[in-house]
């Protein structure tokens, strides 16, 4: 670690210890989806010392992203989300190995990704079919996957939880994910981030195709039009989901390191 990198991460190392920081630096993470949840997750990981990160998302920045997505501004509309986020993350950690792939994870592209190459697979995909595909392939490959459930139509961050998917409740997306995995005969649990808050019924849900959803890029607009509907969402909620998702990685790295070297850091990391 360079002297400048050490200075940037000094406050983190004070909490986690040098051996854990070295392990975080070696940890390989792939993040699918860099929108309202994934973008904040990526930043939290890099600011915490993760140095190997693959970002996967097909979209470009749209004006409707600016209210909640970290890399989205009024100045970069129409540019690839993954490239804009990568540029920001490299400003934070210039020596980091951050790769951006503007690809839609779906049946025709999933074989491009060897999930076993990564210590952690993070799911922030917002399309049910592709989300279930990713989770199924993770479970079949036996890799560690952490998944974000529905962050839209929510207000109250105090109701966000991290539990095995089978214990989630009040989340329509989690319910559909469980159902589809069962229908496909997929067994196994994984940790997910979800909210126990009942989705709001009065957010003025907007069906795709309205002028409010217009994107400057035609291909991105087609992706938007493919969605059944768009729910209202807030930055403080999607950001909290992203931070919780990153926290699952960091806490797991800490637990693994301390299990191997109990003296590698001060204090215990609380579970849950």
pLDDT digit string (tens) for the chain, length 272 residues = 677 888 999 999 999 999 999 999 999 999 999 999 999 999 999 999 999 999 999 999 999 999 999 999 999 999 999 999 999 999 999 999 999 999 999 999 999 999 999 999 999 999 999 999 999 999 999 999 999 999 998 999 999 999 999 999 999 999 999 999 999 999 999 999 999 998 776 554 544 444 444 455 555 555 555 555 678 999 999 999 999 999 999 999 999 999 998 765 544 444 43
pLDDT the model gives residue 269: 43
Q: Specify if 108 maps to a domain.
A: yes
Q: Specify if 79 maps to a domain.
A: yes
Residues 27/250, Cβ–Cβ less than 8 Å: no
Taking the alpha carbons of 195, 201, 203, 208 in that order, is the dihedral positive or negative?
positive
Name the residue range of residue 180's domain: 13-198+233-260
**Torsion of Cα atoms, 69 then 251 then 195 then 142, to 10°:** 90
Q: Specify if 226 maps to a domain.
A: no
Spatial separation of the C-alpha atoms in residues 61 and 82, rounded to whole Å: 9
pLDDT the model gives residue 79: 97
Q: Specify if 216 maps to a domain.
A: no
Greatest alpha-carbon pair distance for the chain in Å reads: 57
pTM of the predicted model as reported, rounded to 2 decimal places: 0.89
Q: Specify if 113 maps to a domain.
A: yes
Distances (CA, A) of 268 to 34, 237, 256: 31, 27, 12
Q: Specify if 30 maps to a domain.
A: yes
Domain count, the chain: 1
CATH number for position 124: 3.40.50.720
pLDDT the model gives residue 210: 43
pLDDT the model gives residue 209: 45
Q: Specify if 271 maps to a domain.
A: no
53 phi and psi angles, rounded to 5 deg: -145, 125
pLDDT the model gives residue 85: 98
- Alpha-helical regions (H) of the chain: 3-8, 10-16, 18-26, 38-47, 81-92, 128-141, 172-183, 218-225, 235-260
Spatial separation of the C-alpha atoms in residues 83 and 147, rounded to whole Å: 22
Q: Specify if 242 maps to a domain.
A: yes
């Amino acid at each position: 670690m360079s002297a400048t990198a050490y200075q940037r991460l000094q406050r983190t190392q004070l909490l986690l210890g040098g051996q854990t920081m070295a392990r975080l630096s070696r940890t390989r993470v792939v993040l699918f989806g860099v929108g309202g949840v994934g973008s904040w997750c990526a930043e939290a990981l890099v600011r915490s010392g993760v140095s190997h990160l693959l970002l996967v998302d097909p979209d470009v920045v749209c004006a409707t992203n600016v209210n909640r997505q970290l890399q989205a501004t009024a100045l970069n509309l129409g540019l690839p989300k993954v490239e804009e986020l990568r540029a920001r993350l490299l400003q934070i950690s210039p020596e980091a190995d951050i790769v951006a792939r503007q690809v839609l994870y779906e049946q025709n592209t999933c074989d491009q990704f060897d999930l076993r190459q990564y210590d952690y697979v993070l799911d922030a995909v917002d399309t049910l079919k592709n989300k279930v595909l990713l989770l199924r392939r993770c479970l079949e490959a036996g890799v560690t996957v952490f998944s974000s459930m529905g962050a839209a139509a929510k207000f109250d961050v105090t109701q966000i939880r991290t539990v095995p998917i089978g214990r989630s409740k009040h989340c329509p997306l989690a319910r559909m994910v469980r159902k589809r995995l069962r229908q496909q005969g997929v067994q196994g649990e994984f940790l997910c981030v979800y909210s126990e808050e009942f989705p709001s019924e009065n957010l003025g849900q907007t069906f795709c195709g309205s002028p409010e959803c217009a994107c400057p890029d035609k291909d991105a607009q087609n992706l938007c039009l493919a969605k059944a509907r768009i729910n209202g969402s807030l930055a403080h909620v999607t950001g909290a989901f992203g931070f919780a998702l990153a926290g699952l990685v960091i806490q797991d790295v800490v637990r693994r390191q301390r299990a191997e070297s109990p003296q590698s850091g001060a204090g215990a990391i609380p579970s849950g």
